[in-house]
Structure 1
Amino acid sequence: MLELAATVGIRGGSEMAAVPTEAPIASVSVELTEALSVGLARPLFLIALPLGVLAIWALLFHGAEGTASERSRRLLFAARVLVVALVVLGAAGPYTVQSRETAGEPTVTLLVDRSDSMAVSPDVSNRLESSIESEGVSVRRVPVGTNDTSPVGDAVAANLREGGEVVLLSDGRVTSGQPLGEATALARSVNATVSVVSPDPRTTERYVTVAGPDKASRGVENRFAARIDGVGPNTSATLTVRVDGEQVAERTTETVPTTVEFNHTFNSTGSHTVTAEIDALDRFSENDVYRKTVRVVEQPEILYVSPGEYPYRDYLGQLYDVDTAEEVPEDLSEYYAVVVQDAPADSVGNVDHLQEFVIEGGGLVVVGGQNSFERGGYEGSNLASMLPVTVGEGQRSATNIVLAVDVSGSAEEGMRIQKATALSVLDQLGDENEVGLVGFNFQAYRVASVEPLSENRGELRDKIRRLRSGGATDIAAGVRGGGELLGDRRGTVILVSDGHDSPDEAAAVASGLADRGIRVVTVGAGERINERTLRTIAGAGGGSYFRATETTQLGILFGSAGAPGASGLVVLDRTHFVTSGVTLTASPDSFNDVSVRSGASFLVAGENGQPALATWRYGLGRVATVTAHGEDGTLDGLLREPDSLLLTRTTNYAVGDPERKATGVVGVPDTRVGESTSVTYRGTERPEAADVSFQRVGEETYRASLTPDEAGYYEVLNATYAANYPREYAAFGPDPALRTLVEGTGGEEYTVAQGQRIARAAAQRSVGVRPVRTDWTWLPILFGLLLFTIEVSYRRLQVRRRNRPADGGLP
């Protein structure tokens, strides 16, 4: 066949990827086996063969004279034709291409992070490079980042080669460009590996941050937390916190992290500042001050509707501007939310206006008791149609469930825990469900089809016990595999994993499944768990995240009799705004008989699985139901700390944005130097401000983007926002994302002293099966000359032996 280019595969010592070999365009070749082909580099020279044969025939037979016999002429003709054929074959350039294991030229691509966050760690790049090169392996050094910019993800992506490897000398703190998760996905797509060297910090560095509400109500106490963190040897640091320039806290400490909590009540509306500053002897001064702004608004107006007098009304009055009524009036325009407590459906008032109020963005909280829900005629009423629960305990409905268990290499250390967790999850699922099993590493494997659990529980337990670990981690593959096993059925994928992978792709897959009616629940299990990843995936998939110790709570969601061993209230979803960080100690003795609607968020349950708190969106508004109460109809222990935070969060959830009815600047989040923030303005006309250009983004809504280049407080249209130190100085030491990068691409974590090991690994990878071309031009020419010499020598010997002329005059 006509050979335009020859390719043979290579990757490492056994796998193969396309590598071109040189071949003349006019050459021809024939593939004898998968590993061997033969060809001619100059096949046009073969044209000379018939011409040569014709010339020899003419010399020996056409008009030939002499005494030579016919037999002698034929033998000589055959010998001379063979000589000519060998010479012509040599001129045509015979060659072979054979796949052989050969040693390549090993090279290490070393990405060296030069950003400021690496300044707290020793500079080991020269030492590492020398150690690698001492083993005869060349190093291609690529500098990454400078000053406060760390585009580590971009650098990794730019230096990836199909089947290749890079070594990253960095703390992995990405401050610009693509995150490491995207670089991990790209490396997997081209079958490349990324190894890491991340030296531990040796220089003392301290930085400060402040956490707390961005918006607050006037006259309401708020809690803030200032935190000193850092790396390196202990050193004394003094923290000073000021609110609107007035000192409110001071602490001196030598240990990190140290958190100083404080409460503050703002008595005037508008922008307020919270500034935390540390005095410490460390490497950088840029991060010694943290600035935060709090936008204080008037207390949102809330309507409280109840036929009785309950302590919850007084509790709300401490946080909001509360009006009290026995029933809902026609005009609700001044309110942000309506709270209805223990009221029969026929005494609530104008439910049609309440429904319209919620659909247009208002909030609604319905609190149960002895006169509501099943005892208040809610069933079939217009009020009940807005609620995330239905009246009546109801029967538990069966659902389709797929257990997706992580069996990747990153899970290997904790595989015993993974299996135990998966078995625990299985124990919580009721027999009425249909359950299947998927194992996954870099791809998903069907272990058991979706079948009634009442029939295959024992088989599933056995298959979970026999799972084996290995391979790279791709959580997205596990989520996708669970969805594929469910097929067209609605249901739930319960993902059991340590979470060591980028959440981006998996979250996107989970979101797609949620659109199909498939919820994704995540359970953290293993020696080391990346809860952030698992929470992100669960949030995108419309599900919840559970720790391995919380699997009994799955029984409430999927058909068991409750949460064995639990007492009091049980939080089912800690990722939700209402329940995040909430601690519950109360044990209400009564619950209304309700069941949670499909599509609603079941947040808190009683110890026997009774719904206690559920939420959902209704139109543009938010609705919550609290169905746990005391025998006397009050909320009992829920009004005492720390449980009272649950009621505050529930009401805040219903209220939503406390400035949604305001005009002027209603939002300008704090930012960092070099990062943009958006100014949101509501009004009938476009605002005018120096050096700020507003664009219309909605009805009576305008937005502008600002990017500060220095740290400090800034003002725009009488609203203040803070610009803090660059992100480069906000974290030091190896980023946990580095481990995910290494495990996700099959790389290695090296120490500074392992340069020789890096070199040996590179040399080993360079050994592979490669196409080796051998030119055989010399061989046929050599044989031709040898044959010609033998033939001539034989005829001369015959002449001497017989003492006669050379064979009758043959040429």
Structure 2
Amino acid sequence: MYLQRPELLWLVPLVLAAGILYTKRTQRRLLVLTRSLVVCLIVIALANPYTVTTHTKDVSRPRILILSDQTASMEIFDMNVAERLSERIPDSQLRYFSGESTPLGDRIIQYMPQADSILLVSDGYSNSGRPLRDALLLARSSNVSVFAIEMNTQENEAGVEISGSNIAVLDGDYPFKIIVRKSGSVSGDAVVYADDLEIFRGSLESINDSLRMSHRFRSTGTHLLRAEIHPDEDHFERNNMYTKAVYVVPKPKVLLLGRPSPLMDVLKDLVDLSTADSLPQSLSGYKAVILDNIKYDPDLDRLRSYVASGGGLVVIGGPDAYELGGYHGTELERALPVISSPSIFEGGKVLIMVIDISGSTMAPMRIGESTTYLDYEKSLAIELLRSPELRDASVGIVVFGTKPYVVSQPVPIRNRGVIEESIKSLQTPLGKDETNLDEGLRLAWKIINESRAEADLVIISDGRIEPDKVKGDQVFLNSVDIMRKMNATVTLIQVQSYAGSAGRFQEMASLTGATFRPAVYPSSLTVRTPEIEGEHEVAENVSGYTLVVTDQNHYITEEIEINATISGFNDVTPKPGAQRLVALTDGKPIVTAMRYGLGRSVSLATDDGNAWAQSLYAAENSMLISSIVNWAVGDPRPEKERVEAGDGWAGSPLEIYVSSESPPEIGEGARIESTAPGRYTATIVPESEGVYYINDYGIAVNYPLEYRNFGFNPELRGMIEAAGGKIFTEEEAGRSIVEEARKASERLVQERLSISWQLLLAALVLFLFEVTIRRLREIRG
């Protein structure tokens, strides 16, 4: 029971105390006591006591709103699908939106108050306004279900785009990528120009999604790359040409402390290289400093302030560097993204793995394969046990399914063999298919509380909370509440047969602050492995250590593919906040990067190619070294009188950053704001394609974003299912959408039930009873 105004209860003891005192002064004690009790009941009723009840709300005739996307990119589909569905679905509403942009997320939010369920008739590409994924999660939290129709293209379409940096270095290799998007069967030619000079010609059939290229610019200033496609059959022509403006700058000045090596050969082509045996007195003018296998000297501590002030630092390993060169604990190490010691171990850490063994995990990961979800979960759990970061931890295992139980209390990781055998022996129990995640979490919570140690909690599951919708919602809410209260770092690992598979872990992570990590079969959790004809495998070489890219969302590794092994490395530990970009197959960091102050710092924990890492500096892998140095250098131009801007899209806002002593003159319609002394941000909305110039800096504006992506968005299914919706064909929607919407509209709701009227009734009955008794006594007398 709860009270809306609990402060009124302070009157109850005052009333009772007054009644007790008054009874000592009168003979009518029964009257005083009953009247005091009546007043107390009235006071408690005024405090408005209530209870909370939970019940299922069922909408027998859900309001279904059909949201029809009539924007330009939908012209390659059947535009009459929404009208036909409106005729087949009783009591449905039909709403349209059109134009040369698709604010799909905004439209969902706009129409949520008008419907219990929204049926999208769209290609699923949202290119303006609120992100679609956020809108779907907001709809789910507002008890609005979102469904979608799987659309099939009626016409062939192709488009082209150029991906790459907008800054290039004079006479250096400038890597870029030609992206060709196709829908249907498209044939024809593709041509690439650099300043009107043809540098590539080929057939569209030979370009599978993208084509990597490079070019060298021989003069500074703005240069234009242009990609054109000439398909034999095509609906839109606006997206058949793409222009990229590349601003070419002189080679940046870089200082190398080291010896002749394959590294030095790569750098000579890349930068204006100076070499020295020790740091000069002044580092002004150098965009970056590279230490190649240099033993620590106190003079190197000056590099900390150099990096903090905006410089770049790259440290190459070797037998005289890092832990072998005395870096540990120095001022130089403070500017590095790694600690120069093999590992950091904190005693007493406890890791609890909560593994899903419910009936749904017995399904095969992919059709035609024998590997089940449970098999994949067990392999991921064993992989985590072998992580170097857990070398001093104690690990416990909890499973949940029909009945959750503790497989293993926390034992030191040195007994890993015993723990692995416990994991390998896990089987799905017979019984009702339930996913009692909340009960499994309670067991894990109990273990963590008893350990009284720093705790990590890892939950491995397919993310399907419970087959029963009503019970599933309750399990979800219970699990969220437990994770919020638990004193542990929580990681949710959702095993998936394909990216974006259904499950509620991402939503759970967003509500609890946990880390969400999708594990798409058969990839690894700790390393990324190359795909070969649909299979993931890691190349092994008995003569060395294999390198793999562990983070492809960083500038250094975004376009990198590595096929290299090394025979030696420095054993270092990434600092908190640093990004491990390239590692060995066991997770040991090789390339680590971070921002330090205003500058950038990179660690390459292998040598310069003279002994350990010859293959890393070969032509097919040297792009990694180029990317490392380019990222450390940053923008090679002077800080003042500098313009920064990427490619623009007609009709979409474009932000331009200018470093200048006075406000820049951009043109009519530009909104200019001062963000810092000498720094300005200008926002414009270009209305047409072309190349715009600010001084000598060119900005290419291409076709509207509406024509960038076309066809049916392959990520829409995952987003819809993650938000509790479903994808239908047109026939399926016409036949079963009402029933699906009704089921989806079932919600667990909580309502307040006031009990004030019962208290008032009790006070009235007591008052009448007392009056009646008293009158009967008077009559009898």
Length-normalised TM-score, structure 2: 0.70
Answer yes or no: is the 8 Å Cα contact 1:302–1:338 preserved in 2: yes
State how far apart, in whole Å, the 1-side matches of 2:328 and 2:120 are: 63
Alignment partner, residue 756 of structure 2: none
User: In structure 1, what residue type is equivalent to 2:557?
Assistant: T
Secondary structure of the 2:140 match is helix
When residues 131 and 710 of structure 1 are mapped into structure 2, their CA distance, relative to the original with a 3 A threshold, is: same
Match among 526, 532, 535 for residue 496 of structure 2: 526
Matching of residue 422 in structure 1 with residue 377 in structure 2? yes
**Which of these residues, 320, 342, 347, is aligned with residue 371 of structure 1?**
320
* Aligned-pair CA distance for 1:588: 2.4
Letter in 2 for 1:111: L
Report what 1:754 is aligned to. Answer: 732
Q: Which amino acid aligns with 2:667?
A: A
Q: Offset of 1:283 from its aligned partner?
A: 1.5
* Aligned match of 1:664: 641
Structure 1 residue 118 corresponds to structure 2 residue 74: yes
Contact 2:394 2:410 in 1 (8 A): yes
| Shift in Å, 1:549 | 4.5
CA distance in 2, matches of 1:153, 1:471: 34
> Could you tell me how far 1:160 is from its partner in structure 2?
2.8
Task: Return closer, same or farther for 1:732/1:518 CA change in 2, 3 Å cut-off.
Answer: farther
CA contact (8 A) 2:358 2:428 kept: no
Among 251, 256, 259, the residue aligned to 1:299: 251
Equivalent position SS for 1:761: helix
Deviations 1:65-86 (A, max 9, x none): xxxxxxxxxxxxxxxxxxxxxx
Alignment counterpart, residue 315 of structure 1, candidates 252, 256, 266: 266
Amino acid at match of 2:551: R
Q: 1:279-332 CA deviation, whole Å, 9 max, x = no partner?
A: 2332222212212111212212111012x3333222211101111111012211
Q: Percent identity?
A: 26
CA 1:668–1:106: 2 relative to 1, 3 Å: closer
CA distance in 1, matches of 2:559, 2:459: 23
Amino acid at match of 2:88: I
Q: Supply the distance in 1 between the matched residues of 2:745 and 2:526 (Cα, whole angstroms).
A: 53
User: Which amino acid is 1:421 matched to?
Assistant: Y
| Alpha-carbon distance in structure 2 between the residues aligned to 1:484 and 1:174 | 45
Equivalent of residue 180 in structure 2, options 216, 228, 247: 228
Q: Is the 8 A contact 1:569 1:584 kept in 2?
A: no
**SS of residue matched to 1:528:** coil
What is the deviation of 1:264?
1.2
Query: 1:28 matched to which residue of 2?
Result: none
Measured in 2, the distance between the counterparts of 1:317 and 1:552 equals 37
1:70-109 alignment runs, 5 A limit: 108-109=64-65
Tell me the residue number matched to 1:604.
582
Is 1:704 the counterpart of 2:682? The answer is yes
2:189 aligned counterpart, secondary structure: strand
1:720 aligns with 2:698: yes
Against the structure 1 CA distance between its residues 424 and 682, is the aligned structure 2 distance closer, same or farther, given a 3 Å change threshold?
same
Aligned equivalents of 1:260, 1:676: Cα separation in 2: 28
Q: Cα deviation per residue 1:679-734 (whole Å; 9 max; x = unaligned)?
A: 21112222234324532211211121111011221122332111111121111222
For this pair of structures, how many residues does the alignment match? Answer: 642
- Counterpart of 1:132 (choices 75, 88, 96) is 88
**Matching residue within 707, 712, 720 for 1:742:** 720
Q: Which residue in the other structure is 2:102 paired with?
A: 150
> 1:381-420 maps to which residues of 2 (within 5 A)?
381-393=330-342, 397=346, 399-401=349-351, 403=353, 417-420=372-375
Distance in 2 (CA, whole Å) between partners of 1:577 and 1:409 is 42
Return the match for 2:561 from 583, 598, 603: 583
State how far apart, in whole Å, the 1-side matches of 2:628 and 2:118 are.
Answer: 50
Counterpart CA distance in 2 for 1:630 and 1:383 is 20
Distance, in Å, in 1 between the alignment partners of 2:426 and 2:689 is 58
Q: 2:218 aligns with which of 267, 270, 278?
A: 267
Q: 1:638 Cα shift?
A: 1.6
Distance apart, 1:367 and its partner CA? 1.5
2:93 maps to a residue whose letter is: R
| Aligned AA (1:266) | F
Bigger CA drift: 245-254 or 601-610?
601-610
Against the structure 1 CA distance between its residues 411 and 309, is the aligned structure 2 distance closer, same or farther, given a 3 Å change threshold?
same
Q: Distance in 1 between matches of 2:357 and 2:104?
A: 29
Q: Are 1:433 and 2:393 counterparts? A: yes
C-alpha distance in structure 2 between counterparts of 1:335 and 1:173, whole Å: 45
Structure-to-structure mapping, 1:598-677, within 5 angstroms: 598-606=576-584, 611-629=589-607, 633=611, 635-659=613-637, 661-677=638-654
Mapping for residues 551-590 of structure 1, pairs under 5 Å: 551=524, 553=526, 568-571=545-548, 573-575=550-552, 576-590=554-568
Q: Which has the larger radius of gyration?
A: 1
Quick one: distance in 2 between partners of 1:517 and 1:667? 45
Describe how 1:42-61 pairs up with structure 2 within 5 A.
none
SS in 2 for 1:758: helix
**Structure 1 counterpart SS, 2:496:** coil
Match of residue 141, structure 1, among 94, 105, 111: 94
Structure 1 residues not aligned, in runs of 5+: 1-98, 502-509, 556-562, 770-811
Q: Quick one: distance in 1 between partners of 2:574 and 2:732?
A: 57
Alignment deviations for residues 718-760 of structure 1 (CA, whole Å, 9 cap, x no partner)? 3211111112111122223431343134333221223541365
- Name the structure 1 match of 2:294: 343
Deviations 1:169-206 (A, max 9, x none): 22112122222212221222122222211320011111
Contact map agreement 1:408 1:469 (CA 8 A) in 2: no
Question: Which 5+ residue runs of structure 2 have no aligned equivalent?
Answer: 1-54, 366-370, 466-479, 529-537, 748-781
